[in-house]
Amino acid sequence: MTAAPLPPVAPEVTATLVEDLSPRLRKRLDAAVTKLGSRPTHRDGDTVTIAVDDDTELRLHAPGGVVATVDAITCGCLLAPACVHRAAAASAAPAADPAPEPAAEPAAESAPDAAPDPAAQPAAPTVPDSTPPPNSTPSLGDTTPPTAPALATAPPSTPVTVPAPDEATPAQREAAAALWSAGAAVLEAGVAGAGAVAQAALLRAAHTARLRQLPRGASAALSVVTLLRAARAGDPSYRTADLVTALAELLGTAHRVGTASGAELAAVRGRARRPYSPDGSLRLYGLFTEPVVTDSGHGGARTWVVTADGRLCTVGDVAPGGVGRALGVADRIVRLGDTALTHRELGRAGLAVSGATVSPDGRLGAGKGVKAVTARGAAWTEPPLAALWETPPAEQAARALRSVSRYAEPGGGGSDLLFLDIELLGAVGESGGTCLLARCDGGVPVRLAVADDDPALAHRDNLMLLATAPGTRLRIIGRLVPAPHPRLTLLACSHPTGESTVDLGFDRLSRADLPNPGAPVHSAPDRPGGPGAESPLHLLERRVEQTVPAGRAALGMLGDVTAEARRLRRAGLPTAAGLLTALRASAARRERDLFGRLLPADTDGFAAHWLAATRYTASVAESLCAAAWEPGPAVPTHGPTEATAPRPAGSPR
């Protein structure tokens, strides 16, 4: 038999199967998941069969590609249907995304892409009750999680009504409390202890949240499950920082449901699908085309266009296929109306569109009512494109930070692109490789990194070739990389000869294109300058990340943090020092009863301290990034950070 991937399983199916197991079988569930992962599988139509042993088979029936009911998983062992195999199979399979809402307008992309990582985004997700300017550090506010006495007791089957826009319903508060509890339990146990049972609790909470109109919380819970499974399976693409972000998004969203109101509550609830709204007739001017290659194996192209009034929009085509598909799609016809332009041609031409639909993040819909014909484009030095380069770099960076923030409000709009006029200085060595050093208007040094290292794409070769032409002036487009020094991934540039433009992922430059080929390569020290370059913020970030793999108890045993707190205070980060001290104390605290027996740990209190520290470090890092783009002398670390940072409620000074 040939190996076949398991079909996605609906979250409520996995949760139900795990909940129905006896306590004895739950203890054996993780071992059963591991065992099933090594057994042969094969697919026959909509059914995937797993050979449990020589005499027993387990079947997952997935009509439409998803296992949607408990009865769709059957086992031939003597203990079925009360065996551990069905729950193990569901726990080993990917968690299915919730069913999409049919009312949403289909996007031009045939699958979700992952810009700006490209990993969204997803994505991504401003602590936690407002959207502050990037040079301020917002407060967590009241970090007390939702508590059971304040919650309604309606069962999950209670009919759901759409709540008033200015307050959460009791059922939504109850669902948020379940999300908080499931997330706090993962933080308590760490990756090592968050097995199939803990994941099932997250899946149940996600399912309930979706039913009660909390799609943002449901999506965050599913992201945590996916990352936990990747971590436990040793997936090489897994990063602890991703799980930190997902857990903080889950806990922060769950907490805010009970405190937010009005427009903020609408953002906390989220949307199940990206809404597309009519935008009438649009005159579009091509800007550039970039390849899209995601960790999930999708590939394609995204073309950026600008409307007559200066808005950025995208037309994309992304589907399973990886880098090979990305290279092929660039020369395919754009799926928008009746145009005959390819993606690469549209990046330098124009379109006149009628019946246009646009999502909040600028994606153009490709519905049947959309009509498009080819029109004249514009050079980067002509309106309306030239206006993109007129905004000062610091203002562009602040705008981009609001878009790429780790906890940005979904659907908040905005672009992570920067448009700069630069002078090339040459290559600069870094611990992770080599990047291109440049100076933008205002004298700010900028590091230009490769957008994608895949050798099939032209990014790396083009960047290294440009590094041999110091003194060359270019007009560039790059994607902001949040860092304590100005940094972009380079996407497109004006041609070094001044003619046309270059899509750096697809077009390949040659030495003949350079005005001074063969010039010596510039070298620079590996340590970037600017505000935050010497910031000891990593001392708190390290403790936040250490919690996730091994859980609260491991952090409590790491020893005294007095020296680290003292160093943070000397650097002008007293809030960070207080959060570190409180986090370590909360991790180590265990109360005893009158007989000296240990009481259960305060998981909610520890989760609140961890969430405050996580959101704080993200906000300070973004503040340092914004300050680095300001022209002039370096800003002290404690200037734009601690001076404007309200302290989370209850945190020590």
User: pLDDT of 283-327, one tens digit each?
Assistant: 999 999 999 998 767 899 999 999 999 999 999 898 888 899 999
In angstroms, what CA-CA distances link 392 with 47, 399, 435? Answer: 57, 11, 23
Cis peptide before 116 (omega within 30 of 0): yes
Kind plus residue range of the DSSP H or E element containing 599: none
Q: 501-505 long-range CB contacts below 8 Å, 24 or more apart?
A: 501/288, 501/347, 501/348, 501/380, 502/462, 503/288, 503/289, 503/290, 503/344, 503/347, 504/451, 504/458, 504/459, 504/462, 504/463, 505/289, 505/290, 505/291, 505/451, 505/452, 505/457, 505/458, 505/459
Residue 283: per-residue pLDDT: 94
Length of the chain: 653
Does residue 163 surpass a pLDDT of 70? no
Per the structure block, which two tokens stand in for 88? 């193990």
Kind plus residue range of the DSSP H or E element containing 448: strand 445-450
Order of strands across the sheet that contains 73-75:
41-44, 47-51, 57-61, 73-75
Report the pLDDT averaged over residues 176-194. Answer: 95
- Total Cβ atoms within 10 A of residue 50: 24
**Residue 579 carries which side chain, given as an amino acid letter?**
L
List the Cα angle 506/509/514 in 5-degree steps: 150
Residue 534: per-residue pLDDT: 65
Report the pLDDT averaged over residues 380-401. Answer: 94
* CA dihedral of 571, 575, 576, 581, whole degrees rounded to 10: 120
Kind plus residue range of the DSSP H or E element containing 51: strand 47-51
Residue 548: per-residue pLDDT: 94
Does residue 162 surpass a pLDDT of 50? no
Does residue 176 surpass a pLDDT of 50? yes
Residue of 252, 367, 342, 296 lying closest to 607 (CA atoms): 252
Residue with tokens 């600028």: 362
DSSP string for 330-363: TTSBPSSTT---BHHHHTTSEEEEEEEEE-TT-B
Least confident of 437-451, 469-483, 536-550, 631-645: 631-645
Residue 518: per-residue pLDDT: 53
Per the structure block, which two tokens stand in for 476? 């560039």
* CA dihedral of 296, 299, 300, 302, whole degrees rounded to 10: 40
Exposed/middle/buried for residue 504 (C-beta within 10 Å: 0-12, 13-18, 19+): buried
The dihedral through the CA atoms of 273, 404, 121, 342 has a sign that is: positive
**Residue 545 carries which side chain, given as an amino acid letter?**
E
Does residue 650 surpass a pLDDT of 50? no
Where helices occur in 212-239 by DSSP H, the ranges are: 215-232
Backbone φ, ψ for residue 230 (5° rounding)? -65, -40
Separation CA 190–CA 204 (nearest Å):
19
pLDDT band at 412 (very low <50, low <70, confident <90, very high): low
**Residue 63 carries which side chain, given as an amino acid letter?**
P
* Residue 296: HSE in the Cβ half-sphere, 13 Å Cα cutoff: 19
Does residue 124 surpass a pLDDT of 90? no
Report the pLDDT averaged over residues 217-234. Answer: 94
Residue 633: per-residue pLDDT: 54
Residue 651: per-residue pLDDT: 38
Residue with tokens 């139509």: 45
Where helices occur in 38-162 by DSSP H, the ranges are: 84-92
